[in-house]
Amino acid sequence: MAEAPVKTASKEDIEKNKTNAILCYLGILMIIPFMNEDAKKSPFVKFHLNQGLVLLIAGVIVGFVSWIPVVGWIIGIGWFVIWIMALISAGSGQMKRAPLVGNIELVK
């Protein structure tokens, strides 16, 4: 499967919106950058908002699957690792797609 190209953001955009990008991965706090007009215009925040929304939906699904002994737990740990990788990506100012679910685009 070919990876979709990642849009780029300027260094100023990244530095200005790093906090908003991190908030995109913290569940309900995702609303803050979603409601902020400046953040919605930022390619950096849009990228992480999309990734955070996809991971949130995946997390709800994984929450149900995790009730299955062993297999569900392994899937839950895998989702947690992907979530941590995405959070670190936002905090370090990178626009890396999350493994497995990173090519899904919900926010345009």
Domain extent for 24 = 11-91
6 in a structural domain: no
Contact 95, 47 (CB under 8 A): yes
Domain total of the chain: 1
Does residue 45 fall inside a structural domain? yes
User: Would you say residue 101 lies in a domain?
Assistant: no
pLDDT for res 88: 93
Q: Which two tokens stand for residue 98?
A: 């999350």
Nearest to 47, CA basis, from 95, 98, 1, 104: 95
> Looking at residue 27, what is its pLDDT?
86
Q: Based on the number of CB atoms within 10 Å of its own CB, is 90 exposed (0-12), middle (13-18) or buried (19 or more)?
A: buried
Q: What is the mean pLDDT of each run of 10 residues along the chain (108 residues)?
A: 62 86 90 84 88 90 88 91 92 87 75
Confidence (pTM): 0.81
Instruction: Give the pLDDT confidence score for residue 4 in this predicted structure.
Output: 55
